[in-house]
Amino acid sequence: MIKLRNIDRYIDKRLQRNFILKGIDLDIAEGDFVSIMGPSGAGKSTLLNIIGFLDDANEGEYYFLDEPVHSLNEKQKSEYHRSYIGFVFQAYHLIDELTVYENIEMPLLYRKVKGSQRKSMVADMLDRFNIVAKKDLFPNQLSGGQQQLVGVARALIGSPKLILADEPTGNLHSDQSKEIMETFKKLNKEDGVTIIQVTHSDEMASYGDRVINLQDGAVTENNPYEEE
């Protein structure tokens, strides 16, 4: 599904070139649950952003479903965002002015889903995450874990093939974190959704079935747990 070849991401300073990512080669198959780990500044988020089309690599090739991403234009990228990719952020990033219901509904608006169908899809999602009672509340009326649930629900409603999560549990306490990770795991196993998450925690990484360690912009260990 994802094929990265020799990806470089760097910032040019006056005298030197600072590499954030250097020579990344990576293959992720459909149905994988991958955790990207590594110390601060290793380039985890940048890698995730590149995978999510939010950032462009300076060098190298990136194929998403065999489509060369490096040659897609803005509009085509938006098309992929709508149909294939869902994002979950550490800071939730819900729209403050919209209710839970409306936040979850929003991706469907961009996919031009019809009104009645939209209603049932959102209702399903609210059901699934047990937040029906909260559908008319605004994000600031929810706890962090509830907000993140809404964030996940929003990411899922477009039935994406890929979910990108940047430290989804970073702001949550352990019970909430577990709930989110269980959700991810269930999605991965039952619906075959590909999940890539960035995390600092071994515990969270253990929900996945593959770990990629990044250090100074390079993959140091691919799948360290595989042998176990």
Partner 1 sequence: MFRNYLKITFRNLWNNKSYSFINIVGLAFGLASCIIILLYVNNELSYDKHHKKANRIARVASFIDFSGSYLELATTSAPMGPTLRNDYTEVEDMVRFRPRGEFLVRSGDVNIKESDIIFSDPSVFNVFTIPVIHGNAETALLEPYTLALSRSKALKYFGTENVVGKTLLLDDDQTFKITAVYEDMPETSHFNFEFLLSMETNADEANNGVWISNNFRTYLLLKEGTDLKAFEENFKSIKKTYIEPQLIQFTGNTLEDFQEAGNSIEYELQPLTDIHLHSDLVAEFEPNGNIKYVFLFSGLAGFILILACINFMNLSTARSVKRAKEVGIRKTLGSVRKQLVTQFFTESILLCLFSFLIALLIVELTLPFFSNLSGTNLVSNYFSNTNLILSIAGIVLVTGLLSGSYPAVMLSGFQPIKVLKGVLDKGTSRFRSLLVVFQFSVSLVVIIGLLVINKQLNFIQNQSLGFQKEQTVIIHDAYTLDTNLNVYKEELLKEPEFKSATISSYLPVSGFSMNDQTFWPKGDDPVQGNTSSTQVWRVDTDYIPTLGMEIIEGRNFSEDRGADDNTVILNEALANRFGFEEPLGEVITTFTQKPDGSFDTENLREFTVIGIVKNFHFRSLRENIAPLGLFKGTSRGNVIFKIDSQDAGAALSKLENSWKEMAPGQPFSYSFLDERFDRMYRTENRVSNLVFAFSVLIIIIACLGLFGLSAYSAEQRTKEIGIRKVLGASVSGIVSLVSKDFLKLILISFLIAAPVGYFIMQQWLKEFTYKTNIGFDVFLISGIGIVVIASITVSWQSIKAALTNPVKSLKSE
Are 28 and 1 in contact by the 8 Å Cβ rule? The answer is yes
Q: Which of 17, 91, 130, 203 binds partner 1 (CB under 8 A)?
A: 91
Q: Which of 9, 81, 135, 210 binds partner 1 (CB under 8 A)?
A: 81
According to CB under 8 A, which residues from 23 to 62 bind partner 1? 49, 52, 54-55
By CB under 8 A, residue 200 contacts partner 1: no
CB nearer to partner 1: give 148 or 210.
148
Handedness of CA 29, 34, 39, 41 (dihedral sign): positive
In whole angstroms, what separates CA 199 from the centre of its chain? 11
Which pair of tokens denotes residue 69?
């991403």
Cα angle 125, 127, 131; round to 5: 95
Q: Residue 212 and residue 75: Cα distance in Å, rounded? A: 31
According to CB under 8 A, which residues from 92 to 151 bind partner 1? 93-98, 102, 105-107, 109-112
* Binding span for partner 1 by CB under 8 A among 32-40, 85-93, 173-181, 190-198: 85-93
By CB under 8 A, residue 87 contacts partner 1: yes
Which stretches of 58-187 are assigned E, i.e. beta strand?
A: 59-64, 67-68, 85-88, 162-166
Binding site for partner 1 (CB under 8 A): 49, 52, 54-55, 74-75, 78-83, 87, 89, 91, 93-98, 102, 105-107, 109-112, 154, 158
